[in-house]
Every structure is written in C-alpha cells, then in structure tokens.
Amino acid sequence: MPAACESRPGEGSVRPQAVSALVTNIQGYSIHDGPGIRTVVFLKGCGLDCQWCSNPECISGQPEIGLLRTLCDQCGACGEVCPNGALVAEAGRMPCVDRHRCSGCGTCVSVCTRSALILYGRRMTVDEVFDAVKGDKMFYDASGGGVTMSGGEPLLRPRFVRSLFEQCREAGIHTCLETSGHVGKSALAQVLPFTDYVLFDLKLHDSRRHREYTGRANALIRANASVVARSGVGVLFRMPLIPGINDGDENVAETAAFLRSLGDPPPGLQLMPYHRLGTGKYESLDRPYCLGDLASPAPESILRIQQAFRAYGLTCTVSE
C-alpha cells in the first residue's frame, strides 16, 4: 500500500476510520501468536523476502489474485469479466493470470462459484477491523488473550496499527505486535507505547547470510531488537529453525550472545521449526518456492538446538 494511503505524521489527531490498510486475513481463536486465545490480523506488505516465508501473499504491498487450480472447474467466467484482460480463460481450459496486467481489483473473484480465485488484500479501515475483533473479547478475557497484528510486516503501517491498538486499549483488549524489526525506528516509536507484548523474529545473526536468505541486512533489526528489549514491554524473541540455513552451531552461539547482550536476565527465545504448509500459496501466486523439497527438522535436531540455547543461559521453548 502506498504511504499516501495513511495519514501523514504531524497532522494532529487522526480519526481511526480515515486510516486504512490492506488486510489478507483475520484469523480468530489462535493460540500460537501471543498469550491466550487471540485474533490475528494479517496486513499486506513486508520489507523482507524470506525464502521460507509461509505467508507469501503478505509480501507484496499490493492486492493480488491467487488461483487454486485444484478447485477450478475451467468455466471461463473469470476471463469474461476481467477489466484489464489479465485473465486468459475460456471454457474447458485452466485460467492463466497475467501478473503484469492484473490490478488485484477482485472482479474475477466475484464470479468464481468454486472459490478457486482468492483476493489477497482487502482494504479495511481501523473501525472495520476493530468491529471484526472486538466480538471475541469474552474469550480474550477468559484466557488472557487479545489481538495480534501480523503480516507481512505490520509496522509498515504504523498509523493503522497504533490507531487499532488505541481502540483495543480503550476496550481493555490486550495487544500484541509480531514484527521482523526491519522498519524505521519512528514506526516502532509510534506503536510501542500502545503495545502490551511483542513477538520479535530473529532469522540469522550474520548480516551477509541474512541478506542472502531474506534480501536485507540485519543491522536495523538488531538495533530495533535492543530498543524493544529495553522498553519495558514484554517481548519474546522467535527464530524460525531452517535446516542447513540457521541451525548451525555458529549461528546458535552468535544469536545466544546477542540475546544475552540485551538484558540480565536475557529475554526468552522460542524456536519455530520449519514447515512446508505455505507452499500451496506460492503455486497460487505463480511464485517459485526457493527451498524446493527441504524437509522439516528432525525432533532430535530441534531438541539439540534447544538444549544448546539453554546451555548458553537462555530460556528456550519450541512452538507447537
């Protein structure tokens, strides 16, 4: 989403309904994205392009059309209504999406009776999102849960996240921010005062290898990690565990040393074992999946790395 879609800093108080963002999904009853039962709001757009990303539909900041070929009955209706001629489709043949022509308008989705076409990215205002999440407050209260902003990178839309978190705080709803940390410090400064908990991802400690596998160096990420760790806001650092990429002894030692430098006691770390559940989304977006047939790490490998982090004096858990 272009920055112009958000109100500019310095314009005074902003009415929440004036601030909007592209939302790919609002997922209720999650127990893996912060404490308690939570509703997770996924925003579109990310500054990183991690090769193992399980949410590729959130990387681009623009709306996109996904095609689930296993559901398509090849009726050809989508090709007839596309205003940009981006869908090459006719009865009896599998549609083809011209990604250069597609504007992500969603017209084709409206005529697809089999739900084979998906619009990744629907513009929603803060009020619309708040209305969607506030109804489960009874579950948040009973479990110590709340609302988690995820993506993509939610801090690319700081005005949106801050406005939503303000409403949540007024309603007594716990707020959690999931971030890669690859954002400007001003974005973090806007949102952190209204955040109750942070899930902060660490990929690779070595900056050269971080750029190789995510497209960006990590100096900014480390700097923001230090800001969050010293802010007084609760934080859990998380590391995706990718076999052959970041599970080596050197990365474990360097990551542990970095976390220990952030405080005494150091913040906790959660390992997130690699999985292939997002590969179907790559196919729907006509994007290559760079890791091929890489398998998930073996249980004994996960345990070894968990024990290594604990030996360095860290509290280390493994996500389910």
DSSP string, 94-148: --EE-TTT-----HHHHT-TT--EEEE-EEEEHHHHHHHHHTTHHHHHHHT-EEE
**Tens digit of each residue's pLDDT (9 = 90 or more) over 60-110:** 999 999 999 999 999 999 999 999 999 988 888 999 999 999 999 999 999
Q: Tell me how far apart the alpha carbons of residues 269 and 229 are, in angstroms, rounded to a whole number.
A: 12
**Tens digit of each residue's pLDDT (9 = 90 or more) over 175-221:** 999 999 999 999 999 999 999 999 999 999 999 999 999 999 999 99
* Per-residue pLDDT, 18: 75
Residue of 175, 178, 180, 224 whose CA lies nearest to 202: 180
Would the pLDDT of 2 be above 60? no
Q: Do domains 3-60+122-318 and 64-120 have the same CATH topology?
A: no
Place of tokens 């739900």: 115
The first and second tokens of residue 128, run together, are 């619309």
Q: Tell me how far apart the alpha carbons of residues 78 and 318 are, in angstroms, rounded to a whole number.
A: 44
The first and second tokens of residue 114, run together, are 């089999």
The first and second tokens of residue 19, run together, are 């601030």
**Tens digit of each residue's pLDDT (9 = 90 or more) over 136-178:** 999 999 999 999 999 999 999 999 999 999 999 999 999 999 9
Note if the bond before 104 is cis, omega within 30 degrees: no
Domain boundaries, the chain: 3-60+122-318, 64-120
Q: 3-60+122-318 — its CATH code?
A: 3.20.20.70
Residues linked to residue 30 through DSSP beta bridges, in sequence order: 38
**Tens digit of each residue's pLDDT (9 = 90 or more) over 218-257:** 999 999 999 999 999 999 999 999 999 999 999 999 999 9
Q: Are 47 and 153 in contact (CB under 8 A)?
A: yes
Instruction: Check the CA dihedral 141-318-291-155 and report its sign.
Output: positive
Would the pLDDT of 38 be above 50? yes
Q: 64-120 — its CATH code?
A: 3.30.70.20
Place of tokens 């705080």: 169
Q: Tell me how far apart the alpha carbons of residues 146 and 36 are, in angstroms, rounded to a whole number.
A: 7
Would the pLDDT of 11 be above 90? no
Query: Higher model confidence: residue 1 or residue 284?
Result: 284
